[in-house]
Every structure is written in structure tokens, then in C-alpha cells.
Amino acid sequence: MSAIEYPPGSRVPEVAAIRARGVKVGYRGAVVWHDATFEVGRGEFVAVIGPNGAGKTTLFRLLLGIQRPMAGSLEVFGAPPRRGSPRIGYVPQRHTIDNDTHVAADVLVHLGVSGTHLGPEFSIGAARRATAEALAAVGASELGSKPLGAMSGGELQRIFLAEAISGRPEMLLLDEPLSNLDMRRTRELVELVHGLVRSRRVTTLLVAHDINPLIECLDRVIYIANGRVANGPPEEVLTSASLSELYGVPVEVLHDSRGNIVIVGGENPHEKGDA
């Protein structure tokens, strides 16, 4: 390999997007995972994979500053996570939007722009432009006036994505955006997110159950299981040897003719509940 070349004009060396050193996390003394040491570079597209209850959402809560590590150090853009940072856009797993939510979608995206501000909105024009821009970026301009309660799962995910990017964040945390989507909508959403990652160079962590729809776009996989965190490029993490070490039991990674991955033997029967 030759010496690393930086494109002209860029500042070097850049602070990592995420830097974790021996992080231990849990709730009320119960450790969810520990000894997590990893780094995520700026502009990387990262899948967070692992069985239910392994602590994938917990990782997001740490990065959002809602929860603190029990031990170790965690840095986001070179500083400890701070709740309410405008540099992070977040799409949680939703439960509150249902058929009865008769509110136009662009209201939600608009709140993503200026929803935390107090008092009357004086710069409403700028906020409206940012809203329209975010909706356009996810290809949902025509959905802006549709009620949230009348939307399909795929439409909702695009609106949530627009809400998350409306403040022009440098990092996106997407919690299970692909669950409840059929194959076509899954592919559409993955392409959309991938496009945003590349065009805006926004560091993106996406929690998913199934790695296969993502595998071609990923720079990195964070695999959380058995109280531990493995991390690296997909071809390094998603191997029989690496996952067997992570789980502590023999695990096999199989590939089909089209490059799809099947992980056999990894599901730990002791894992339970969503964390």
C-alpha cells in the first residue's frame, strides 16, 4: 500500500465520528455489553446487527447522550455524547404514530427543524424551506400534506428520515427502519439511505435484523451479541471464526450463490426481551 493521500483542501487528520474505548453499559447494575472498543470513521455506513435484547438500541442511547457508559470512554466527534446535539439525527423504533394521527407529515419534518425552540416562530420561511428540502432529499415532496396516520410503513420511514436529516446532521442513527417493510420497499429505503450517506457524507448507523439487504453498501458492521461487541468491515466480522469467538459457541456463516449470508447457530437461547 502506498502512503495515504488526502484530497487537496481537506483537514488532516480528521477526528473519528465515534471512538469507544473499553465501554461497558447496562441498566441498574445488569451489564448489557462490556469491553467494547471500536472506531467509526466519518461518512461510514455501518450496520448494527445482533439478536434481540443484545443492546443495539442501548448503543444508540449512549451515542445520543440519554444514557452514560458504566465504564470506559466514548467520544462522538471528539467529545463525550451530549443529549440534544444538533449533529445527530435519530429515527427511533416508533409506536406512537398510528391510524389516528391526523397530522400532516410536513408538520413532523418542520418540528425536526425548529421543534425545540421556544416562543413564536419568527423565521418560519427558513424552516419551511428546510422542511421542503428535507422532504425532497428523501423523495417525499408529494407526501408533505398527507396525514401521518394514512401512510404506509415505507412512506412513514421516509418521513422519519426527512425529520432526522432536516437539521443537516453529521450522523444518523436509524433504529430498525427496515422492519415491517416488504422486500421492494426495503431495497428502496436502503438505496435512499446509502445515497444520503454518500452525497452528504453523513456517518450512518443502522440497526437491522437482516444484514443481507445492506451488505453491498456497508463500510462496517458492529455485531453485538453475548454481552460483547465485534466490529470491522463486513468481510472480517461476518465470518465463522469471528462470530464463533463472539458468541463463544460454534457459529457458521454460509453464503448462497447471490452473496446472501445465513448465520447458523448464533441465536443464543438465553437472550431475551428488547433493550
- Asked if residue 121 binds another protein (CB under 8 A), the reply is yes
Secondary structure (3-state) at 143: helix
- Asked if residue 257 binds another protein (CB under 8 A), the reply is no
Among residues 77 and 228, whose Cβ is nearest to another protein?
Answer: 77
Q: Any idea of the CA torsion for 96, 98, 102, 105, to the nearest 10 degrees?
A: 70
CA 221/CA 268 separation, integer angstroms = 19
CA 203/CA 192 separation, integer angstroms = 14
* Binding residue (CB under 8 A) for another protein from 103, 126, 241, 249: 103
Secondary structure (3-state) at 112: helix
- Asked if residue 179 binds another protein (CB under 8 A), the reply is no
Number of residues that bind another protein (CB under 8 A): 41
- Asked if residue 183 binds another protein (CB under 8 A), the reply is yes
- Asked if residue 141 binds another protein (CB under 8 A), the reply is no
Could you tell me which stretch among 176-184, 216-224, 228-236, 237-245 binds another protein (CB under 8 A)? 176-184
Provide, rounded to whole angstroms, the least separation between the CB of residue 67 and another protein. Answer: 11
CA 153/CA 137 separation, integer angstroms = 18
Q: Are 51 and 57 in contact (CB under 8 A)?
A: no
Secondary structure (3-state) at 233: coil
Residue 157's identity, in one-letter code, is Q
User: Site residues (CB under 8 A) for another protein?
Assistant: 64, 66, 83-86, 88, 90-92, 94-97, 101-104, 107-108, 111-112, 114-121, 145, 147, 152, 163-164, 182-185, 212, 260
